[in-house]
Amino acid sequence: MVATVCLRLAFGMIAAILVVDPGPIPPRFFRIQYLASLGLLAVAAFFLFEQLVQPGLLLLLFMLAGVLCLVGSIAWHIENAGSRTLDVATAVALGVALAMLGPITSTLTEKIIRYGDQFLSAAVIGTSVAAMLLGHSYLISPAMTIVPLQRMLIGLWVTLALRVTLACWGLWFWTAEHPIGNLETETLLWLIARWVLGILAPLVLGWMAWETARIRSTQSATGILYVVVVVTFLGELTSLLLLEKTGYPL
């Protein structure tokens, strides 16, 4: 589970920077994204050591992603040296590595569950962390236009909307097999916590961050986004537990 969460966050953080125009944003923001992703990739490799010691596609992807993250951190250390091509290549390498985690599936339903859960979870936690770090950029560049933060918040809402759609789909099929009234108390409590923390709270807090950003109260927006990061992580960790228990992305 640790390797999965780390790789989801690494992919999500790099993919999230594709939402914004790098022009007005300080290079420091992008450098942090790459360095954090490189560290997360190293932690994931530690927990996947037994799978990576044998040569194969996963090992090559981890090595390629690691090199790209290192190059990206160096490129953004040099003023305006980063490029969209590098951002896309890194996101693709991390995305393919993330897709290879977990058991091989055969049916369409299993593929929707596996890939939908992996990538939408990565998008939610990655965008929330990227939005929070972008909010910090306004502390060192207070005159920067508010558009990048607004775009990142819109990206967060879109990923949350897609995540809600998948969760509703999973809940519909799961409750068709296991009616709510027959659920174990423990499962029902986890389900409530997952929806409150992982879906409802980020939506409300995201709207609050948007309103505070709209009046250029970026420090307050960043504080709210701290809470968004916490609740989205708790929600996605709870979702992982429910996926293992029920077999559906709830």
Question: What is the distance between the alpha carbons of residues 212 and 52, in angstroms, rounded to a whole number?
Answer: 45
Q: How far apart are the first and last CA of the chain?
A: 17
Q: What is the pTM of this model?
A: 0.91
Question: What is the distance between the alpha carbons of residues 105 and 141, in angstroms, rounded to a whole number?
Answer: 47
Residue 20's region, left for phi above 0, alpha for psi from -120 to 50, else beta, is beta
pLDDT in tens, the chain (250 residues): 788 899 999 999 999 999 998 888 888 899 999 999 999 999 998 888 777 766 678 888 889 999 999 999 888 877 666 678 899 999 999 999 998 886 666 677 777 778 888 999 999 999 999 999 999 988 888 888 999 999 999 999 999 999 999 988 888 888 777 666 556 667 778 888 889 988 999 999 999 999 999 888 888 999 999 999 999 999 999 988 888 887 788 8
Written as six digits, the tokens of 25 are 């944003």
Residue 165's region, left for phi above 0, alpha for psi from -120 to 50, else beta, is alpha
Question: What is the distance between the alpha carbons of residues 82 and 213, in angstroms, rounded to a whole number?
Answer: 27
Residue 61's region, left for phi above 0, alpha for psi from -120 to 50, else beta, is alpha
pLDDT of residue 104: 64
